[in-house]
Amino acid sequence: MVGTADILNARILIVDDRESNVRLLEGMLRIAGYLSVESTTDPYQVCVLHRKNGYALILLDLQMPGMDGFQVMEGLKEIEKDGYLPVLVITAQPAHKLRALEAGAKDFVGKPFDLAELRARVHNILEVRLLHLETRKYSNALESTVRELEASREVVRLKTLAEQEMQERELALAEETQQSLLPRFLPQFENYRIHAYNSPTRYVGGDFYDFVPLSSGEWVGVLADVSGKGISAALLSSMVLGALSMEFRAGTPPREALHRVNQLLCEKSLPSQFVTLFLFVLSPCGTGQFISAGHNPAYLFRSATGKIEKLFSESHFLGMFDSATYEPRALRLDKGDLLVVYSDGLPDAQNPQQEMFGEKRLREMIRQASPSGSLVLEQQFLKSIEEFTQGTPQTDDITFALVQKCG
């Protein structure tokens, strides 16, 4: 767990071209008790310093000569390969706040500075950042253990053929159990066409999806990615899917359903286990809402304009904070529009050169194939992934769901 001492000792970098602002922020942070505060007035040095020192938080001014804060964040994305930017932006322009969040910043603070606001926002971001790093450490340790086990399986053969056959039977049974959790047949909802695909890394994986009709005449869709892989991930995904299905069928509103599942995970799962999830509710006329619980963005292709909208929110992972809230955002699909929801195994798929498929290639595929419909886009996804990976074993489950408004 992350304690107060960890937060106060975290390394912080202040970036502002005005020396007076730097000194003011340094003083405010030191008054708040932070012990490791560094600064620079040169935006070109930020990436170099972060690559060297690995800051837990960067307070970044957006308006600087030569290289602005948005360009700095693009450079930081090359360092933070998991996409988590530990950035608190500094701006006096209200219009820049949403743009900064969409660019990857975790929060913002306005000018002139307010000490109470600054202390609260810095403390909250550092707490989440340190928990994120701790979770990643757990995940890396688990991955290392899995690799060691799989390597030893190649070196040390099972003592008897009977033992090997028993293990294969158990894994096959686990695979059958996991597959039984996914819908056997995709439902037919009025005015919608749905396609979905799941490919686990081994016999069992941690991704799942589901589509459930509601008594209101609406229907709910969900795609989730459980941390870890193999049997432990399958067990956790089984628990989450079962809990969600029970809440949906009981008529629980999505926000409250996620709150209850989050409470369950905080009580029952291990500290290293968590779930990212994208949930959406739609009516026959196309109106609805969505909640993204720490999940990668979904994409919405607009048939009328050919543009792609990114759908995201700032809600936390499930199973991380028992006080987390999950606020819905409005969603609307017009005729021909196509919603693309996926797990990070899709853009993270690798070829033999260890290059990733990537979000850019994914968006371009959506742009080109979506006008021809959801079936064509599904076929294009599968064909492109197969051609790109060239049979390379993948390190994460690949799952996606496509929803097209057709009436």
219, 368: one domain: yes
Q: How much is the pLDDT for 152?
A: 63
266, 398: one domain: yes
Kindly state whether residue 169 falls inside one of the protein's structural domains: no
Q: How much is the pLDDT for 69?
A: 87
Kindly state whether residue 316 falls inside one of the protein's structural domains: yes
Q: How much is the pLDDT for 23?
A: 92
Question: What total number of domains does the chain contain?
Answer: 2
Return mean pLDDT, the chain: 86
Phi-psi region of 251 (alpha: psi -120 to 50; beta: other; left: phi over 0): left
Range list of H helices, 194-310: 230-249, 254-268
Domain end residue (candidates: 75, 103, 132) = 132
The 10 Å Cβ neighbour count of residue 211 is 22
Q: Is the pLDDT of residue 231 over 80?
A: no
**Three-state SS for 38?**
strand
CATH code of residue 20: 3.40.50.2300
Cα angle, residue 399 at apex, residues 259 and 363 outer, rounded to 5°: 100
160 pLDDT band (50/70/90 cuts)? low
Kindly state whether residue 174 falls inside one of the protein's structural domains: no
Alpha-carbon dihedral 294, 296, 301, 302, rounded to 10 degrees: 30
310, 392: one domain: yes
Kindly state whether residue 233 falls inside one of the protein's structural domains: yes
**pLDDT-above-90 percentage for the chain:** 42
pLDDT in tens, 233-273: 777 888 888 888 888 888 889 999 999 999 998 988 887 88
Least confident of 89-103, 213-227, 296-310: 89-103
The 10 Å Cβ neighbour count of residue 178 is 24
Q: Is the pLDDT of residue 46 over 70?
A: yes
Q: How far apart are CA 353 and CA 233, in angstroms?
A: 28
245, 338: one domain: yes
Cα–Cα distances (Å) from 26 to 5, 17, 108, 139, 281, in that order, read 19, 14, 17, 34, 46
Domain end residue (candidates: 97, 132, 167) = 132
233, 104: one domain: no
Kindly state whether residue 273 falls inside one of the protein's structural domains: yes
72, 213: one domain: no
Report the residue count for the chain.
Answer: 407
pLDDT in tens, 64-109: 888 888 898 888 888 887 777 888 888 878 778 888 888 888 888 8
Range of the domain at 389: 180-405
118, 205: one domain: no
Contact 92, 111 (CB under 8 A): yes
Q: How much is the pLDDT for 166?
A: 74
294, 232: one domain: yes
Kindly state whether residue 156 falls inside one of the protein's structural domains: no
Kindly state whether residue 47 falls inside one of the protein's structural domains: yes
Q: How much is the pLDDT for 91?
A: 83
Kindly state whether residue 155 falls inside one of the protein's structural domains: no
184, 36: one domain: no
88, 191: one domain: no
220, 99: one domain: no
Domain end residue (candidates: 132, 147, 163) = 132
Q: Is the pLDDT of residue 176 over 70?
A: no
**Three-state SS for 276?**
strand
CATH code of residue 335: 3.60.40.10
80, 228: one domain: no
